[in-house]
């Protein structure tokens, strides 16, 4: 239905010509050209590290280009600061919301508005505008109490209050349920109809095909193609992004599930921090050879669940969790590891790995107390078995294609995808019988994601029980044998993956499975 | 003057320097900076205030000099931590040590000299009111100033845009920067304000409390002010309550000692600390409120992305 408008040339709103940005010797953007027309949704595609964020930051005045020119409505401009960009009429919704948790919605919005727009009753205007665009918001609510979807609405409303001519959105659906995403799309369609232009950054190609009129694709900081997303297929777009065809994850049917290796029965846990989520009556079972995925929007209790299962929080007085037949509520992480479990936390830096330590030292940290290396890594009075550690490091790097500057680089020097491959590899190398992995491919490029997913599948086919917590539905359908959905600390029953549609999962993410109706008021 | 009036007056005198120093530090910490140099800035204010008033004969010039000395010391802290990105904790401790040493050097010629006392301001007509007249309307000007400052800080932080920006910078400096606020400038301004009130607190000691110069005359009051800020969960009203509670228990302990009550002196002199900590711990049991008011980027230097 959008095809018609594609061919109509509209006035160009923002144009960048031969723009480059150099960090040291590294070109984050190398002579990139881009033109955004009014009344269109323009997609900016690329893998992590392709230079999308750098390009957008230059358009929003947060970074200054090393070379090249920027034209706004045909006139050359130099966008000096975000405030200047907002004055021109450029609004931006960030991927990691730049919100202040301890301030109210109205205070957050007020901080981002110029003097002229702060007059009068801001709260009232926020309420009106958010109603008008179908983005309900309570101006006096504290941001800390809001869901991720609601937080995104704040950012959008705050941009809309300035009546932007260009709205830049950085991965806006990464944190939304499918239904919330559809709601966002209808808001975007309305904006475009009203003459606003949208620059839409995403790596979800189906979405791009659904709402975008033009697409610009970056790879390694260079422009590789400008295409019509209505004509291209998701596969051709992916190929342009990655520069080669993406490895397809293969998953043979799973005929042999064995005993239950990990089970939770009616687990209850009161949140330990004021902004945490209480876990309510969570039950699940993972069998040998099975991959169970827990879907859900981030912040609904997944991290709390992970820390209870991994033993970061242990409750010696309870008996909710059984690992390979042993009640393990009171065991710490290392004791659970020795039972045969492995854990991959969500934050790879700071949680999964220590930034300033080398890779071998990071291996030692999670494995010194495990009994699954050839001989103990910990030599008692004699210190540490460095030789075995560096062998392990080489094996993991080779097997999981970890690219690094030196053999034993510091964890902080690895890119996100490579570090994730390392952290996952470190745990999988143990051949654990139970693997619990939180957001396995969050913020990881397509190549690394495929490798990690394949490794997880291979492990399960060797008879391990695997629990995945993810908010990426594509990933879940690619990996899972069975699926459960988490919302507000409650877990749905488990369904076979082939029995569930995206829409059903979306409804459950929004809470349709919840048993008690817990009122949402502030 | 009745005994009760005398007690309350000494309580106010004992509490005011704490309140002055703490209200400044509260603003500094709300902007995300941890300045452990209060003691050093206070003692610099005390010695400079005494010296300037002794030389010129005017206590008001002394107050002005104390404020300037406090600001100057705080700007050294600002330069080191905000521009040169040194560690805030270590730098604050260094400022305290520097202040104690430097003030001893500056003040060596003034030890034992008679000081110039800042006189009280009586508000004509109102001082004759029964019970409260002398207490409320016959105080020295810095007491009034400390109350005005506390009310002002409370109002500005909660209800004005400047306060909103300060809280935003202290909450999340990266977001504030992304929105186009000048994080480092805001912090410099807050640090200067903290320096000014610490200087005032020092001047209060050497021009009102005991109008003379004694080495190390701040005697740990800077640290108490610092503790009050944290225990008050960064709220001005609680801070004032904490400061007066501390002063109150302290003075009552002295009176009790004077009357020869059979409690060991050491125990009595530890009472204000115990009482303040207990009271503020009870107040701050509302964890949610504490977490919300805690400046999330407290003590972290701000380095913008390239």
Tell me what the pLDDT averaged over chain A comes to. 85
Q: What is the mean pLDDT of residues A344-355?
A: 86
Residue of B nearest to A22 (CA): B306
pLDDT at A522: 33
Query: Of A95, A56, A109, which Cα lies nearest the Cα of A79?
Result: A56
A107 CB within 8 Å of a chain B CB: yes
Phi, psi for residue A198 in degrees, rounded to 5:
-130, 130
Is A273 in Cβ contact with B172 (below 8 Å)?
Answer: no
Is B179 in Cβ contact with A111 (below 8 Å)?
Answer: yes
What distance in Å separates residue B42's CA from the closest CA in chain A? 32
Q: ipTM score here? A: 0.81
What distance in Å separates residue A275's CA from the closest CA in chain B? 8
pLDDT at A44: 93
What distance in Å separates residue A431's CA from the closest CA in chain B? 40
A298 CB within 8 Å of a chain B CB: no
Closest in A82, A101, A142 to B179, CB measured: A82
Closest in B161, B179, B293 to A98, CB measured: B179
**Residue A118 reports pLDDT greater than 70:** yes
Could you give the count of Cα atoms lying within 13 Å of B203 in the half-sphere of its Cβ?
33
Closest in A81, A110, A274 to B164, CB measured: A110
End-to-end CA distance of chain B: 65
Query: Distance between CA B66 and CA B76 in Å, rounded?
Result: 15
On chain B, the residues whose CB falls within 8 A of the CB of A159 are none
DSSP letter (8 states) at residue A325? T
Q: What is the mean pLDDT of residues A217-233?
A: 88
On chain B, the residues whose CB falls within 8 A of the CB of A85 are none
* Listed range (A162-176, A300-314, B158-172) with the worst mean pLDDT: A162-176
Place of tokens 């909450």: B171
CATH 1.25.40, domain B3-118+130-293, yes or no? no
What distance in Å separates residue A331's CA from the closest CA in chain B? 28
Query: Of B103, B108, B85, which Cα lies nearest the Cα of B33?
Result: B85
Residue B294 near residue B233, CB atoms below 8 Å? yes
For B213, counting Cβ atoms within 10 Å of its Cβ (0-12 exposed, 13-18 middle, 19+ buried), the class is buried
Phi, psi for residue A70 in degrees, rounded to 5:
-125, 135
On chain A, the residues whose CB falls within 8 A of the CB of B178 are 62, 82, 94, 98
pLDDT at A9: 66
Query: Distance between CA B306 and CA B303 in Å, rounded?
Result: 9
Is B287 in Cβ contact with A274 (below 8 Å)?
Answer: yes
Is B180 in Cβ contact with A81 (below 8 Å)?
Answer: yes
A&B contacts, CB < 8 Å: 56
A110 CB within 8 Å of a chain B CB: yes
Phi, psi for residue A59 in degrees, rounded to 5:
-70, -25
**Residue A503 reports pLDDT greater than 90:** no
> Which residues make Cβ contacts (< 8 Å) with residue B213, sequence separation at least 6?
B46, B47, B50, B51, B107, B110, B111, B113, B115, B206
Residue of B nearest to A109 (CA): B179
Q: pLDDT grade, residue A8 (50/70/90)?
A: low
For B65, counting Cβ atoms within 10 Å of its Cβ (0-12 exposed, 13-18 middle, 19+ buried), the class is buried
Sheet of A90-93, strand order: A75-77, A67-72, A12-23, A26-37, A222-227, A214-219, A41-45, A197-201, A166-170, A90-93
Q: What is the mean pLDDT of residues A120-146?
A: 85
A116 CB within 8 Å of a chain B CB: no
Is A100 in Cβ contact with B175 (below 8 Å)?
Answer: yes
A68 CB within 8 Å of a chain B CB: no
CA-angle at A406, arms to A402 and A411, nearest 5°:
60
**Residue A2 reports pLDDT greater than 50:** no
> Which residues make Cβ contacts (< 8 Å) with residue A265, sequence separation at least 6?
A283, A320, A322
What distance in Å separates residue B192's CA from the closest CA in chain A? 23
Is A102 in Cβ contact with B167 (below 8 Å)?
Answer: yes
On chain A, the residues whose CB falls within 8 A of the CB of B161 are 110, 118
pLDDT at A3: 41
Q: What is the mean pLDDT of residues A312-329?
A: 89
**By a Cβ cutoff of 8 Å, what residues of chain B touch chain A?**
161, 164-165, 167-168, 171-172, 174-176, 178-181, 287-288, 291-294, 296, 305-306
**Residue A5 reports pLDDT greater than 60:** no
Q: Which of A80, A91, A98 to mutate to test the interface with B (most CBs of B within 10 A)?
A: A98
Closest in B171, B178, B306 to A103, CB measured: B171
> Which residues make Cβ contacts (< 8 Å) with residue A182, sequence separation at least 6?
none
Give the 3-state secondary structure percentages of chain A, helix then strand then coil, rounded to 5.
35, 25, 40
* Listed range (A57-61, A426-430, B135-139, B244-248) with the worst mean pLDDT: B135-139
Q: Which residues of chain B have pLDDT under 50?
A: 306
Q: Which of A53, A100, A145 to mutate to test the interface with B (most CBs of B within 10 A)?
A: A100
Is B291 in Cβ contact with A275 (below 8 Å)?
Answer: yes
* A229 alpha-carbon distance from chain centroid: 23
The token pair that represents A34 in the structure block: 């881009």
Is A94 in Cβ contact with B178 (below 8 Å)?
Answer: yes
Is A62 in Cβ contact with B164 (below 8 Å)?
Answer: no
Closest in A99, A273, A275 to B175, CB measured: A99
Is B176 in Cβ contact with A111 (below 8 Å)?
Answer: yes
Q: What is the mean pLDDT of residues A480-484?
A: 93
Query: Of B207, B208, B247, B209, which Cα lies nearest the Cα of B225?
Result: B247
Place of tokens 């309580």: B11
Query: Distance between CA A23 and CA A29 in Å, rounded?
Result: 9
Interfacial A residues in 75-104 facing B (CB < 8 Å) = 81-83, 94, 98-103
Is A98 in Cβ contact with B178 (below 8 Å)?
Answer: yes
Classify A66 as helix, strand or coil: coil
**Which residue intervals of A65-218 are DSSP H helices?**
82-88, 105-112, 122-132, 148-160, 178-193, 205-211
Q: Which of B159, B180, B292 to mutate to test the interface with A (most CBs of A within 10 A)?
A: B180
Q: Which residues of B108-126 are buried (b: 16+ CB within 10 A; e: fewer)?
A: eebeeeebbebebeeeeee
pLDDT at B149: 97
Closest in B178, B180, B288 to A274, CB measured: B288
> Which residues make Cβ contacts (< 8 Å) with residue A341, sequence separation at least 6?
A262, A323, A324, A432, A433, A434, A435, A436
In angstroms, the Cα distances linking B37 to A382, B34, B134 are 45, 9, 35
Residue of A nearest to B166 (CA): A111
On chain A, the residues whose CB falls within 8 A of the CB of B288 are 274
**pLDDT tens string A359-375:** 999 999 988 888 777 77
In angstroms, the Cα distances linking A181 to A53, A137, A188, A438 are 21, 17, 10, 23
What distance in Å separates residue B25's CA from the closest CA in chain A? 20
Q: pLDDT grade, residue A516 (50/70/90)?
A: low
A162 CB within 8 Å of a chain B CB: no
Q: Which residues of B171-193 are buried (b: 16+ CB within 10 A; e: fewer)?
A: bbbbbbbbbbbebbebbbbbbbb
**pLDDT tens string A371-387:** 777 778 877 777 888 88
On chain B, the residues whose CB falls within 8 A of the CB of A118 are 161
The token pair that represents A13 in the structure block: 């709103």
Is A144 in Cβ contact with B292 (below 8 Å)?
Answer: yes
Query: Of A150, A151, A16, A141, which Cα lies nearest the Cα of A70?
Result: A16
DSSP letter (8 states) at residue A371? S
Residue A340 near residue A432, CB atoms below 8 Å? yes
Q: Which of B178, B291, B293, B304 to mutate to test the interface with A (most CBs of A within 10 A)?
A: B178
On chain B, the residues whose CB falls within 8 A of the CB of A100 are 167-168, 171-172, 175-176
Is A98 in Cβ contact with B181 (below 8 Å)?
Answer: no
On chain A, the residues whose CB falls within 8 A of the CB of B287 are 274
On chain A, the residues whose CB falls within 8 A of the CB of B305 are 62-63
| Residue ranges covered by each domain of chain B | 3-118+130-293
The token pair that represents A314 in the structure block: 């242990």
pLDDT at A517: 44
Is A102 in Cβ contact with B293 (below 8 Å)?
Answer: yes
DSSP letters spanning A219-232? ETTEEEEEE-TTTS
Is A273 in Cβ contact with B291 (below 8 Å)?
Answer: yes
């Amino acid at each position: 239905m959008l095809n018609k408008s594609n061919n109509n040339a509209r006035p160009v709103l923002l144009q960048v010509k031969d723009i480059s940005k150099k960090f040291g010797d590294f070109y984050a953007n190398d002579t990139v050209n881009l033109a955004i027309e009014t009344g269109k949704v323009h997609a900016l595609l690329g893998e992590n590290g392709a230079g999308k964020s750098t390009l957008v930051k230059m358009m929003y005045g947060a970074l200054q280009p090393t070379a090249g020119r920027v034209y706004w409505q045909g006139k050359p401009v130099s966008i000096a600061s975000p405030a200047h960009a907002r004055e021109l009429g450029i609004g931006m919704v960030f991927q990691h919301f730049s919100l202040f948790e301890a301030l109210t919605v109205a205070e957050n919005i007020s901080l981002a508005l110029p003097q002229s727009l702060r007059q009068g009753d801001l709260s009232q205007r926020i309420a009106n505008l958010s109603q008008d665009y179908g983005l309900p918001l309570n101006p006096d609510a504290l941001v800390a109490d809001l869901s991720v979807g609601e937080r995104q609405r704040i950012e959008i409303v705050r941009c809309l209050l300035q009546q932007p001519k260009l709205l830049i959105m950085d991965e806006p659906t990464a944190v939304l349920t499918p239904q919330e995403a559809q709601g966002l799309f209808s808001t975007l369609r309305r904006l475009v109809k009203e003459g606003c232009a949208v620059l839409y950054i995403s790596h979800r190609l189906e979405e791009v095909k659904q709402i975008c009129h033009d697409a610009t694709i970056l790879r390694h900081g260079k422009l590789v193609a400008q295409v019509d997303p209505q004509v291209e297929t998701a596969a051709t777009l992916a190929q342009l992004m990655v520069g080669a065809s993406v490895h397809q994850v293969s998953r043979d049917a799973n005929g042999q599930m064995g005993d239950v290796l990990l089970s939770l029965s009616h687990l209850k846990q009161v949140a330990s921090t004021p902004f945490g989520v209480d876990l309510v009556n969570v039950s699940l079972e993972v069998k040998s050879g099975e991959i169970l995925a827990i879907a859900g929007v981030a912040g609904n209790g997944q991290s709390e669940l992970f820390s209870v299962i991994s033993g970061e929080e242990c409750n010696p007085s309870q008996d909710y969790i059984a690992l390979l037949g042993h009640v393990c509520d009171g065991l710490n992480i290392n004791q659970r590891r020795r039972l045969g479990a492995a854990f991959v936390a969500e934050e790879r830096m700071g949680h999964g790995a220590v930034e300033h330590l080398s890779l071998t030292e990071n291996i030692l940290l999670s494995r010194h107390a495990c009994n699954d290396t050839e001989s103990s890594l910990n030599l008692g009075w004699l210190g540490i078995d460095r030789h075995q550690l560096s062998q392990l490091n080489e094996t993991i790097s080779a097997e999981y294609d970890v690219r690094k500057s030196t053999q034993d680089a510091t964890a902080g020097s690895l890119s996100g995808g490579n570090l994730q491959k390392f952290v996952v590899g470190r745990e999988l190398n143990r051949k654990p019988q139970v693997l619990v992995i939180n957001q396995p491919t969050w913020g990881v490029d397509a190549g690394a994601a495929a490798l990690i997913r394949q490794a997880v599948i291979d492990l399960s086919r060797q008879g391990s029980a695997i629990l995945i917590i993810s908010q990426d539905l594509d990933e879940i359908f690619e990996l899972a044998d069975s699926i459960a959905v988490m919302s507000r600390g409650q877990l749905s029953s488990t369904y076979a993956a082939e029995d569930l549609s995206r829409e059903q999962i979306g409804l459950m993410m929004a809470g349709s499975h919840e048993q008690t109706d817990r009122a949402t008021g502030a | 003057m009745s005994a009760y009036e005398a007690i309350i007056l000494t309580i106010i005198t004992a509490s005011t320097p704490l309140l002055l120093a703490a209200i400044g530090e509260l603003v500094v910490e709300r902007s995300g900076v941890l300045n452990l140099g209060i003691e050093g800035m206070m003692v610099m204010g005390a010695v400079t205030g005494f010296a300037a008033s002794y030389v010129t004969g005017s206590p008001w010039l002394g107050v002005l000099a104390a404020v300037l000395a406090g600001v100057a010391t705080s700007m050294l802290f600002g330069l080191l931590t905000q521009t040169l990105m040194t560690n805030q904790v270590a730098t604050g401790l260094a400022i305290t040590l520097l202040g104690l040493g430097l003030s001893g050097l500056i003040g060596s010629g003034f030890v034992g000299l008679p000081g110039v006392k800042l006189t009280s301001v009586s508000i004509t007509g109102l001082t004759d009111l029964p019970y409260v007249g002398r207490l409320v309307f016959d105080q020295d000007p810095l007491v009034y100033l400390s109350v005005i400052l506390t009310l002002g800080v409370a109002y500005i932080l909660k209800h004005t845009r400047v306060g909103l920006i300060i809280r935003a910078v202290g909450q999340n400096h990266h977001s504030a920067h992304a929105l186009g606020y000048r994080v480092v400038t805001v912090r410099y301004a807050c640090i200067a304000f903290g320096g000014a009130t610490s200087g005032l607190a020092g001047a209060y000691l050497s021009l009102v409390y005991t109008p003379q110069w004694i080495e190390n005359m701040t005697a740990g009051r800077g640290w108490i002010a610092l503790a009050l800020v944290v225990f008050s969960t960064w709220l001005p009203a609680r801070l004032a309550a904490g400061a007066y509670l501390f002063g109150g228990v302290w003075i009552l302990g002295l009176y009790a000692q004077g009357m020869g009550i059979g409690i060991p002196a050491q125990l009595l002199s530890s009472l204000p600390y115990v009482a303040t900590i207990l009271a503020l711990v009870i107040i701050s049991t509302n964890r949610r409120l504490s977490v919300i008011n805690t400046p999330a980027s407290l003590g972290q230097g701000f380095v913008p992305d390239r």
